[in-house]
């Protein structure tokens, strides 16, 4: 079960592909169904209209046959009496001779149901067929008599074709000779009409299937294009991601080496030299004490103690630079205040720090990011700006928090010979972007030159009061 779950769990690229192809598949399916429905509905209307036209043409043809036959013997029927058997025989002979086509003929039934004329099916003559129904149970002769009594009418039923003996659907037109009590009519088999309609329906189905095939082919082509495009984009993005990952990894390594080099320089140039001085002072005092010169040993001992205190201060400074304890204990404002005071004392540059009542409500990641940005900015000012005044302002507001660092130095140079500051600015940018914030840098190199660095954090990184208390408790514990 776990294997099946892992197999059917798509990765990010597959989710993107599904997201791109699923709407296309759904749209193409909906279009195909709609086109098929509309095509079939339109074709059915056309087929129904065709069937109606063909049947109406057949009916009109039958009506003409009956009218012509009636006109042919009307001179006999019109002057004959109801019991004139000779006239009846003459009319029967005329109707028996009126056959047309392969299966066309006239039939006559009296109102009792006896067949009087059936030239193509003579075995039916002089037999009573009242109550006769076709294979589907539809009354035939009784319906002829009913229509004849009403004057005239149409009737559809199944009847054996004289030419083949097989049943087929027939449409008959029946008229009544009321004085003789005759039902006279003729019919036509409409199997050709039904065959035409069936052929039309088959053609419609074939067209609908072809339409589905065309739409499916187009959809398949579109899916292939989307798939190949997605694959190409995926490969390209993966290569770019790999390249960016390699670049980021290299930059991490470079940053680590740079930090190690800075700590090594701090240890070598500061603490190491101070400790060497302490060693020489203690060694000098030891030699003087060995010679019994107690007063002479006092001065080297005092100097060694002073140098050792300086070394302890340097260790604290380096530790504070790596991870200031004041940032966790007192918050960002006091940590930045200590940072600017140390910068002013170390460089001699006039430094001003201002802040509003901030209540230490930034989350831990935001505090560290702003502190590191301030460190990087002050380091760049010390190395490159040649400034005489630096101001730093930190304040919270309804949109979040803003830290602004401004100096009156010579501005930022953009030539390739000063890539160190560019790396520092890029580190600042990346730190603030990881927190969904923004970094704005304004710099000029004129008579009123200087640089302004403004880091903004969104309101989402300010903790509510209850979270603030919990954060303080965790830090204190």
Residue of 412 and 184 predicted with greater confidence? 184
CA distance 25 to 31: 10
pLDDT at 477 over 80: no
In the chain, where does the domain assigned CATH 3.30.565.10 lie? Answer: 324-476
Average pLDDT of the residues of the chain: 79
| Fold annotation for 324-476 | Heat Shock Protein 90 (3.30.565)
- Collapse the DSSP code of 157 into the 3-class scheme (helix H, G, I; strand E, B; otherwise coil) and give the result: strand
Q: Which is nearest to 77 in space by CA: 65, 89, 64?
A: 89
Structure tokens at 64: 């003409």
Total-model pTM:
0.45
In the chain, where does the domain assigned CATH 3.30.450.20 lie? Answer: 80-189
Q: Which residues pair with 407 in a beta bridge?
A: 390, 451
CA distance 268 to 421: 24
DSSP 271-291: IIHHHHHHHHHHHHHHHHHHT
pLDDT at 118 over 60: yes
Q: Which residue has the tokens 């970094």?
A: 439
Q: Which is nearest to 182 in space by CA: 151, 159, 154, 138?
A: 151
Q: Residue 7: which pLDDT band, with cuts at 50, 70 and 90?
A: very low
CATH 3.90.70.10 fits 80-189, yes or no: no
pLDDT at 295 over 80: no
Under 8 Å between Cβ of 113 and 141 = yes
For the chain, the first-to-last Cα distance in angstroms comes to 46
List, in sequence order, the alpha helices (H) in 325-363.
Answer: 325-329, 332-347
pLDDT at 23 over 80: no
Residue-level pLDDT at 56: 77
Residue-level pLDDT at 323: 65
Quick one: angle between helices 85-97 and 12-77, nearest 10?
140
Q: Alpha-carbon dihedral of residues 313, 319, 322, 327, nearest 10 degrees? A: -90
CA torsion sign for 153, 158, 160, 161 is positive
Q: Residue 420: which pLDDT band, with cuts at 50, 70 and 90?
A: very low
């Amino acid at each position: 079960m776990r294997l099946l779950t892992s197999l059917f769990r798509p990765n990010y690229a597959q989710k993107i592909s599904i997201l791109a192809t699923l709407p296309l598949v759904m749209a193409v399916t909906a279009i195909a169904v709609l086109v098929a429905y509309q095509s079939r509905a339109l074709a059915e209307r056309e087929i129904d209209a065709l069937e109606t036209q063909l049947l109406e043409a057949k009916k009109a043809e039958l009506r003409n046959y009956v009218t012509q036959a009636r006109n042919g013997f009307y001179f006999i029927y019109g002057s004959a009496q109801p019991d004139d058997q000779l006239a009846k025989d003459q009319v029967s002979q005329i109707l028996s001779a009126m056959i047309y086509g392969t299966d066309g003929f006239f039939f006559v039934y009296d109102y009792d149901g006896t067949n009087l004329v059936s030239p193509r099916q003579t075995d039916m003559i002089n037999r009573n067929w009242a109550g006769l129904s076709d294979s589907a149970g539809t009354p035939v002769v009784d319906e002829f008599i009913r229509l004849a009594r009403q004057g005239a009418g149409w009737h559809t039923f199944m009847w054996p074709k004289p030419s083949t003996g097989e049943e087929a659907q027939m449409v008959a037109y029946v008229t009544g000779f009321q004085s003789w009590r005759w039902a006279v009519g003729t019919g036509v088999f409409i199997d050709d009409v039904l065959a035409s309609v069936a052929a039309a329906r088959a053609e419609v189905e074939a067209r609908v299937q072809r339409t589905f095939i065309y739409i499916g082919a187009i959809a398949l082509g579109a899916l292939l294009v989307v798939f190949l495009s997605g694959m190409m984009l995926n490969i390209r993005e993966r290569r770019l991601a790999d390249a960016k990952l390699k670049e980021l990894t290299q930059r991490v390594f470079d940053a680590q080496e740079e930090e190690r080099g800075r700590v090594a320089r701090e240890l070598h140039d500061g603490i190491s030299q101070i400790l060497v001085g302490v060693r020489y002072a203690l060694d000098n005092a030891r030699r003087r004490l060995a010679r019994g010169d107690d007063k002479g040993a006092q001065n080297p001992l005092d100097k060694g103690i002073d140098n050792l205190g300086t070394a302890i201060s340097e260790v604290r400074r380096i530790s504070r630079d790596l991870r200031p304890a004041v940032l966790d204990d007192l918050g960002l404002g006091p940590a930045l205040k200590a940072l600017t005071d140390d910068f002013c004392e170390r460089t001699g540059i006039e430094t001003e720090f201002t802040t509003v009542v901030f209540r230490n409500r930034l989350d831990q990641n935001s505090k560290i990011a702003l502190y590191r940005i301030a460190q990087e900015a002050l380091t760049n000012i010390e190395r490159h700006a040649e400034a005489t005044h630096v101001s730093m302002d930190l304040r919270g507001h309804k949109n979040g928090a803003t830290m602004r660092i401004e100096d009156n130095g010579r501005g930022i140079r953009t030539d390739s010979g000063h890539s160190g500051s560019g790396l520092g600015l890029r580190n600042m940018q990346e730190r603030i972007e990881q927190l969904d914030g923004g970094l704005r840098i304004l710099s000029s190199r004129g008579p009123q030159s200087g640089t302004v660095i403004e880091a903004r954090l969104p309101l989402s990184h300010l903790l509510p009061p209850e979270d603030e208390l919990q954060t303080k408790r965790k830090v204190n514990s």
